[in-house]
Chains A and B, each alone.
Chain A
């Protein structure tokens, strides 16, 4: 437990080695991530109970059991995400997910919903609970609330805070911090967004899928321009040679009366890459560094996890980390430090 109170006192404070928490959309990807040096893997069931409910992804209970055995055998942990919001009347599926994770020996359950958290805390008091980024706890008091009520041991912070703010939060909360360092970054507060549902009828919160592929259309016009539609609306357009990222409303381009040209009203189609902020994040009291991307390929996970494994180990050993290759893996080849570096992002 990296809970040394004077850790934030100065930049020369001793670094505590953070856990590298990596995504797995399939059992094969889980094994790849473990082999590439992940300390912990997060994954979910093949249904609406988790926030990456995409076709062809995720785990059956049997696969989860086998995967937990594989990870434990190699000294890695498995964190099971049951982090969407069951609509009233449909809680049984989520409760079943909680029970299964407990029975299979998951190292922690990642939850967001008050009802799911309450059920897990009451039914499986020994099961470690993490508060999902979907829980929307963006201030120390919100985090303290979840810790007090559900015994949350770790919070996954929203991707809207600066490193300085994370440092401040760390001093005020009784649980560990997990923070995103790489991957797709949404501009919206997680767990509080129904933009995708507005156009598609599929809810990020209740169905576990934002911008489902079934509602995305790519249309090439005679000039070779690529028109990207979600739920019938054209939300971006690319000329030949440009690399489009995966289309979401929050990274779409729009017009508005005060702008002459279409603009990215919320966020550019960029990926988060905090590799250069890693030492700062580690000093800010972050226990676990999280890589987004359960929907990405095994090769992607192998490369990203491997690169961050080396980087963390280099920093711990006092060497300069090499992270240039990671830019090539970011969405559309464009990266950002997003809100983490400075409040100017806001």
Chain B
């Protein structure tokens, strides 16, 4: 009887994806951020493209060629995102233009983008309501090749979706770091805070590279305003869950850009994925950075999203 060998195929090492910059940054800061991420960060994929407010993109768009060039030379995969909330004619035109972009995969974040992407391979962004395998099957049949999980999903659902995506041959990633989206609107809450309207906002969001804090009447800061978007005040952190996510077969962890040293953040995630650093140590290193809010992971554990649960 021949000897039986048991091979435990270790899951492929998870990759890192840098999500789009959700905030309005100074154009040069924006450019330099991507240059540095290209040169120094271990992320494999970078998602570009305005996702929140069409009025902001004009400032950074002139830098796209340089940024794309630098990222390409660093062998980063580039993906372009579409707008998350599509209402006005300008929004609609923006989505159409974004979907017409050739040479790069497009990540849809609203059903309007799906209309334009018909018949073309595309990705599904975190703003798409893909909550279940039925939705995933349908959208895959329509050409979706990759899914970024909606950050509201609990791990039970994430596990099912990750498995189904694998069966379908789709790539996956999950937001693992950063403030996460809680709502979208046609109204700009940054403009409202300074008694302006969206059409005459004079970029009230200019001074908030990580968004504008909102504090409850009992003195607890818990929300972040970013134009038409509301985000968590806490920063999602799934460092403790990386092993589990890897076992689920998720392909990548997505890091959402903030005004802290994102190269350092991506290195922390890289080190924890590679087993060079424990999740506890990684979390301690994250907490030592100048974050503007606490870490949380509640949604993943089917608890209030603001909470930090033990893995």
Contact = CB atoms under 8 A, between A and B. Distances in A.
B4 interface: no
B218 A234 contact: yes
Given A193-B182, A231-B304, A266-B187, A258 B114 contact: no
B289 interface: no
A233 B129 CA distance: 27
Interface in A10-60: none
Given A114-B134, A139-B112, A149-B142, A346 B186 contact: yes
Contact of A145 (B85, B115, B133, B306): B115
Main secondary structure of the interface of B (DSSP, over half): mixed
Contact of B305 (A116, A194, A205): A194
A117 B218 CA distance: 42
Interface string B224-244: 010000101000000000000
Contacts of A193: 182-184
B293 to A, nearest CB: 12
Interface string B134-161: 1111110010000000001110111111
A192 interface: yes
Contact of B216 (A137, A201, A252): A252
A187 B152 CA distance: 20
A252 B223 CA distance: 12
Interface residues of A, number: 75
Residue of B132, B139, B142, B303 most packed against chain A (CB within 10 A) = B132
A344 B197 contact: yes
Given A88-B153, A142-B86, A142-B112, A113 B182 contact: no
Contacts of A176: none
Interface string B170-185: 0000000000011111
A235 B218 CA distance: 8
Given A85-B129, A136-B129, A203-B152, A250 B91 contact: no
Interface string A201-226: 10101100000000000000000000
B232 A85 contact: no
B179 to A, nearest CB: 11
Contact of A86 (B131, B181, B194): B131
Contacts of A263: 193
B25 interface: no
B212 A258 contact: yes
A253 B212 CA distance: 15
Nearest to B156: A89
A189 B9 CA distance: 44
A168 to B, nearest CB: 9
B215 A88 contact: no
15 contacts: A85-B129, A113-B129, A115-B136, A115-B138, A116-B134, A142-B114, A158-B186, A160-B187, A188-B184, A195-B183, A198-B223, A252-B216, A256-B225, A339-B187, A346-B188
Given A115-B136, A192-B184, 15 more contacts: A88-B153, A90-B157, A112-B129, A113-B134, A114-B129, A115-B131, A118-B138, A161-B87, A192-B183, A193-B183, A193-B184, A233-B218, A254-B223, A265-B214, A267-B187
Interface of A: 85-91, 112-119, 135-142, 144-146, 149, 158, 160-161, 165, 187-189, 191-195, 197-201, 203, 205-206, 227, 229, 231, 233-237, 249-250, 252-259, 262-263, 265-267, 339, 343-346
